A and B are shown apart, each in its own frame.
Chain A
Amino acid sequence: MQRAMIKRRSSKLRRIEKDILPYFFISPAIILLIILTFIPFLEAIRMSFTACNLFRPGSENRYVGLDNYITMLQNPDFYRVLLNTIVFTIFSITISLLISLVAALALNEKIRGVNVFKTIVLLPWVIPPVAAALIWQQLFDSNFGVINYLLTVTGLSTKYEAFLANPQLVLYSLAIIAVWKYSPFLIVGLLAGLQAIPEHLYEAAKVDGAGRWQRFLNVTLPGIKPILFILLMLQIIWRFNHFDIVWILTGGGPGVSSHLVSTYAYEYAFRFYDFARGSTVAVISLVLILILTYFYVRRTKIW
């Protein structure tokens, strides 16, 4: 009887250990996620329906319905900012992806000194964004910048350009910095994907008479597709929310020609103390990113 009770108790304990304990272990992470992400997220949504402005006492609880959204959607600058963000995201990701794929393929080859190259390739990623911004500020300098010097020496340009002050060039210049800074992450991810492709698939393809290009199309690309999908998703989210380098180098200017949704939201909230409008911009951008992600997920049919 006693033995049966002990047995029952220990099986109950085992069940608890098996069923509940794992959840208990992950709960700190979940709690942090709730505190640091979900609560601020819900608060941002709530604030976007209020008149919250630090200069107006009590405004954080004064609900204004959809007023902030209507104002923002009637604001032509907001559409320019949105367009800037989309152009910046597409341009920087496309270039990043092409460069990273080529670099990852090269680094995947068994050549001497490849580890040194892997380290060098990672360098931009580990440089702090502020330092990176200052380096590029010097490189892009319209009077003494190295890039201008190289462009004129090689005959690609006849005059020195103000890359960060020209509204036609500024967004692309910033996108190039983002490509330089964040491509290493893509390269590392793609390299991991490439290394996971079994060698025998290439050998089988070779036996079947597949050339280099066909092996790339039929073995490499399908092999890295899952990781490529994840990396692309992350890149879209990160680039859409890109902030540091843009804020440091141009502050969104000249005019609003390099403002992205993140800098625009920040400016409203932390420069003008208008948390309601800042939250509104953030929520709209979140909705857009969700829509984008939804269609991307559906189209790729990976999940």
Chain B
Amino acid sequence: MSEPKKVDRRKFIYAGLGAVALIAIGAAAYVVMNPPVVTKTVPTTSVVTTTVPTTSPTTPAGVTEIHIFHHWWEPVGRQAFDNLRSKFEELYNIKTKTTFYPWAEYRINVIRALAAGEAPDVIHNDGKLTVEWAEMNALEPLDDLLANHPEVAKNYYEGWQKWCSYKGKVYGLPSEWQGDYIYYRKSILEKAGIDPNKINTWDDLLNAAIKLTKEGQWGLPLRAHKAALWKQFRWLLFTNGTNLLVEVETGKYRSTFDTPEVREAVQFWVDLVQKYKVAPSEIVGWGAEEIKTAFLTGAAVMTNMEQWFGTYCLKADPNFQDWDVIPCPAGPHGKKASSTTVHNYQVTKASKHKEEAFKFCAFITGPDWGGYRTVVDGTFTMTPEGNKKLMEGVIPYIYYNKERLTKFLDILTKYGVPADYPIPEFSQIVDGIITPTLQETLLGQRTVNEALNIIVQKTNELLAGAGRLAKK
């Protein structure tokens, strides 16, 4: 067998360069043959550039098509959404195309599409991402469109803008209004002689949890998985009259983790796990799935969850009715509260059909059809009219009944506090600083004092780096 021929470096380079030149010639020929549309690039950010075409292209038949990114993919939800899409197409003569992504992959796929210049016209989003993408100049402010269509804003509850705005501009229309509640197993509380309506404070909640905890049964496990810890911790802050950050001067913030209110909240949660043992330490690994299983089997008697959780349990066991909810009880410095969130439908800056995209957002969040969308996960529309239709059964219920919806809405309107995301670095503070530190504290690897110091120091460092730290 002959020896393999040695590679001649010079020829190798020449051949490579030749191929590169060929590709460059091909690319140049492609550009010459397909001249780009005259565009205007908004040079405000590195990755997300915005292209605004001079004309608004339509499909060959003259019907506009809008592309929607949606983070919803379970079959019932998709079916409901597809039905609504068809209704919209029929009513407005606008074609729609939807790409669904599971929530875990949603963010990265949207970023990828934005960076590649393939942004859809409409994005379905949660409040935290609204702030992030608005900061990246990826979203279209809707103020002008709202001014041109004054009937749209009138649909929603007063003050709806606080869930959809950033730096004084509105970036989305609100949908899926929901809050968090203390879920409890009715029969177990009854058997233990506990009246859930008398749980008004953290102390009441703790006493009930202690009474309910026994072998194989946890009184109050609050999920602390990496993806969910903040959602749990938020209600403890809100019911103790505080929040994650405090705005000291306009646009400038400081961490609140050096205040007594936050210390009490952290201490309360740590005590639930370590001192009173009404929740297991492995709660740091529990996400929605684990809590659902534990709640269904009675291994978790009480927990804090959002509105969708009931539907999540009912999807697993349609006959599961042995549960109810109460508002989150008050801490020593606060009052009862439900941290409320909405999701948004947004128009992207790169959309070539902003008017049509806006119409879709208004349709899917509005009083006529919004209920068909929200009823799938047990959430509400942000419109009084739409919610009335839900209550009256005009829009058929899928999982909840009138009694449940009434209870949820009553708590939401009475105790709801908007869970705001004031700055785009919010994810980094929550996921990168607070969550790992509190997880370690719940596991007993850090003291509460250490945790609070670390969080204050790291958060303020990050705020300073982003130019958002307020003076003391």
Contact = CB atoms under 8 A, between A and B. Distances in A.
Contacts of B260: none
22 contacts: A20-B11, A31-B19, A31-B23, A54-B47, A54-B48, A54-B136, A55-B136, A57-B45, A57-B137, A77-B436, A142-B280, A143-B293, A143-B294, A162-B285, A165-B283, A167-B443, A253-B226, A254-B440, A255-B437, A267-B432, A272-B428, A273-B424
Q: Of residues A34, A60, A254, A272, which shows the largest number of chain B Cβ atoms within 10 Å of its Cβ?
A: A254
A142 B290 CA distance: 9
A144 B282 CA distance: 14
B422 to A, nearest CB: 13
A253 B439 contact: yes
B116 interface: no
A253 B136 contact: no
A24 B443 contact: no
B135 A255 contact: no
B432 A255 contact: no
B135 A55 contact: yes
Interface in B230-286: 280-286
A256 B47 contact: no
B66 to A, nearest CB: 25
Contact of B280 (A34, A59, A162, A167): A162
A27 to B, nearest CB: 3
Contacts of B431: 267, 271-272
Q: 8 tightest A-B contacts by CB?
A: A165-B285, A162-B282, A23-B15, A27-B19, A165-B282, A254-B284, A253-B226, A255-B440
Interface residues of B, number: 55
Contacts of B43: 57
B132 interface: yes
B132 A256 contact: no
Given A143-B294, A254-B440, A27 B15 contact: yes
B293 A30 contact: no
Interface class of chain A by DSSP: loop
Interface in A1-58: 19-20, 23-24, 26-28, 30-31, 34, 52, 54-58
Nearest to B436: A255
B428 to A, nearest CB: 4
B8 interface: yes
A54 B14 CA distance: 39
Contact of A253 (B107, B108, B135, B284): B284
A24 B135 contact: no
Given A255-B439, A272-B428, A60 B226 contact: no
Interface of B: 8, 11-12, 14-16, 18-20, 23, 43-48, 104, 107-108, 111, 132, 135-137, 224-227, 280-286, 290, 293-294, 297, 299, 424-425, 427-428, 431-432, 435-437, 439-440, 442-443, 445, 466
Contact of B227 (A23, A251, A267): A251
Given A23-B15, A141-B290, A162-B285, A253 B436 contact: yes
Contacts of B427: 271-272
Interface in A141-186: 141-144, 162, 164-167, 170
Contacts of A167: 440, 443, 445
Contacts of B428: 271-272, 274
Nearest to A77: B436
B11 A19 contact: yes
Given A144-B293, A255-B437, A271-B428, A28 B280 contact: no
Interface string A60-94: 10000000000000000100000000000000000
Contact of B226 (A30, A55, A56, A252): A252
B290 to A, nearest CB: 7
Contact of A254 (B14, B23, B132, B443): B443
A250 B228 CA distance: 12
Nearest to A248: B104
Contacts of A253: 225-226, 284-285, 435-436, 439
